[in-house]
Structure 1
């Protein structure tokens, strides 16, 4: 009995110890740890100040917490976007900058929010040049240096002068001056009151004057037969080289060798209504000339049609040969232009996608002519020249991505995945890849 009594007593003692220990553990859970501070592996930079990301070198990027690889990627990305970050939005798109890191740096970036924001940014206020003008001036007399002295960059000045030449050597009016894409609304407001130009564009202004050379000498007209004039003859009447050749081509190709009446001449788009009225009293259409030129043209055409198109290569066929086959000038020009941009046709189906062509006539040509693809330049995604990528119709919309991703990714399959291109576009691109 004593033995059993001691056993029970020992059991109760152990039970009390267990209950006491559990109670102490429960009380520890409520202990106040409010003063405890954990050390973070990536503490935020407390020393950040406003900075221009375009001025940072590799060491400075690493001081901001970026790894060696991330720093290299950021610097390469800056080169790809033109050597300068233009906005916070553009900087954010660099995949080496995480969303969290951007949120940390964003308040300190001296950049506009986006490329179109030019009003509230300190960055733009520093970069923007002011335009200074103190007296009235005729912009037609200004050269590139004059525009640069006014405050425009050299490239802007070149563009302004080029636009003036496009209009025919004169801005014509304040209205036309304002249309120059280099002249912002702010610039125009500042310059408008100083411009020695009419407010409105004259109703007689002809857009095709852009191809002419401004001629200040008065032309003395004499009676002439428009069917006997060559390009030099039309130049003597006041037309530019390009306009003169256009008139000759219009007569020989579109009108089959001769102007039949005054209306044919009037329809030529490089002859303005005002110019036609000047020429009209001196035009002499000779029925004999009309008939002879028409018959001669028919004979030449018959001879040209003897070309054996089964021996012609679609990658070397000329504009003249396409006209010979039956294409009009617009279709022939489109086909030659598309081929030039591609660097050559790889298959016949591509030719059928050309704009402005007659599908039936094109199929007829495809069934007859040869296609030699041996001289077409091809590259890999890694060695393709940047200029080629940016100008090729099949690559230009993905060129920036290719140039960016190939800096760090050397596996072609992974590179295609990063590009995320639709299968049909990828198939087209692979036609020009090794």
Structure 2
């Protein structure tokens, strides 16, 4: 009987001890401090955001977009989990390190289809922008580079626009190598290549304020004094408010097309890069001096004839000459590239092709294309079955598929079957079909 009571007491004591232990664990659990997960919600100024492909950004670039190191690591890890590439905004949004607020801020700038379905169907109109190798040959001041200059260096059109947008945000100057490096579109790898060539101070001034700088830039007005347009060089025209490229166009127009000098105010007004508003601003200060005008070498004044100007509204882009392109304002490199590309193609089929030409001033060419017509009726076109072998192997759009076409058409003399067998990318096929009957 005593043993029975003893065991009962021990059992009750054990239950009490277990209860106390469990309660203590509960108390301890209640007082645990869980780590706070914080999402960086600070918004970047909208003026420095531009379109980007999240698949191209490295760790440093994600942090420049406002993400912490941990968030960046999570995003990159998530990208690996989904197959090493984000397919759509829908998929990107599911990464838990990206808050609703942050996604809404970035969404309109993301170069991805909206949904996975669009990505798989290929109907989103989304294009992949391939990274190019940078080509840098000399030291340069990045403040002086145009959109076209950045593209020629190896950046895509979107990346070049982003760099210029960032410069504008800083007040019109990159200020220092430090600030230049902070441009989120420039990866650490590309910055390492660019840094030795940058003509910029290494450090940012302690009192630097981009907003104050922008305000001062907007307030500053160009002080114009009377000038002789025939004595100004490129720097002189830039001092009047023109960009370096515009200034070069003006000097080339004067020296080449007008044989060395402006003779009348109308000559200046007719220069394409001088807008009516700018001409009205400059007109009161223009002082034409007969002493600085280049005289015609022909002594017989009766035989003097002013050079006939080209009416570009009636000039076909498939017959425009090198000299006419220079007359419009293109430099020799741009004009030569356009004529050379046209010759390789056998003629342009669309105006979009002209803008694909390397080493051209796209802004100036776009203005030309808005005026000039394009007649493609005389451009040679063939079927895949009948196209001459030499033509296939030399044409820029066909040469990489030429051997396959020649091989396939031996046993399949039918264009539809050959297209199926080629299995080229849709964008390549679209270009090739421009020259197919």
Per the normalisation by structure 2, the TM-score is 0.31
Q: Pick 1 or 2: higher relative contact order, CA cutoff 8 A, min separation 6.
A: 2
- Which of these two proteins has the greater Rg computed from alpha carbons? 1
Q: TM-score scaled to structure 1, two decimals?
A: 0.31
